Amino acid sequence: MPQRVNFATPGNDGIISNPTVTHWFDSTAYVVPGLGTQGTAGRNTIRGPGTQQVNLSLIKRFPIGRASVEFRAEIFNLLNHNNFGNPDTNISNSTVGTITSADDGRNMQIGLRLHW
């Protein structure tokens, strides 16, 4: 069973009003509990930044006799929004509260398909 941390002061849950990727939550709100004991902080008390993504797909078929050619263009993360990973929540690490990963930016792909 994973060990949970203690809240350092009651009522301080570590949430800050303007989180950044280098300081997502107040790491001083948590302390390591005694060995073999469960802390007072519940599961999922820290929320990550979430994901916002808009995808677009355009398809056009062109008839050529009995066959047809399909052109397809797909754009993933059309608005190129930053989608960051979750912050480091291990309070024993020096990078606690820091987000060190992000999803890819905008991706585009095109394809051509022959149907007969």
Specify the pLDDT at position 90. Answer: 87
Overall average pLDDT of the 4-15 stretch: 84
Q: What is the torsion angle, in degrees rounded to the nearest 10, for the CA atoms of residue 91, residue 95, residue 96 and residue 100?
A: -140
92 versus 79: which is more confidently predicted? 79
Mean pLDDT value across the chain: 91
Specify the pLDDT at position 1. Answer: 57
Specify the pLDDT at position 2. Answer: 65
Specify the pLDDT at position 80. Answer: 95
Overall average pLDDT of the 38-43 stretch: 84
Q: How far apart are CA 11 and CA 74, in angstroms?
A: 47
pTM: 0.71
- Which of 24, 30, 47, 36 has its CA nearest to residue 95? 24
> Given a cut of 90, is residue 109 above it in pLDDT?
yes
Extract the tokens encoding 61.
């078929």
Runs of H (alpha helix) within 11-108 = none
How distant, in Å, are the alpha carbons of 9, 74, 83, 98, 105 from that of 59?
A: 57, 9, 27, 41, 22
| Coil/strand/helix, residue 5 | coil
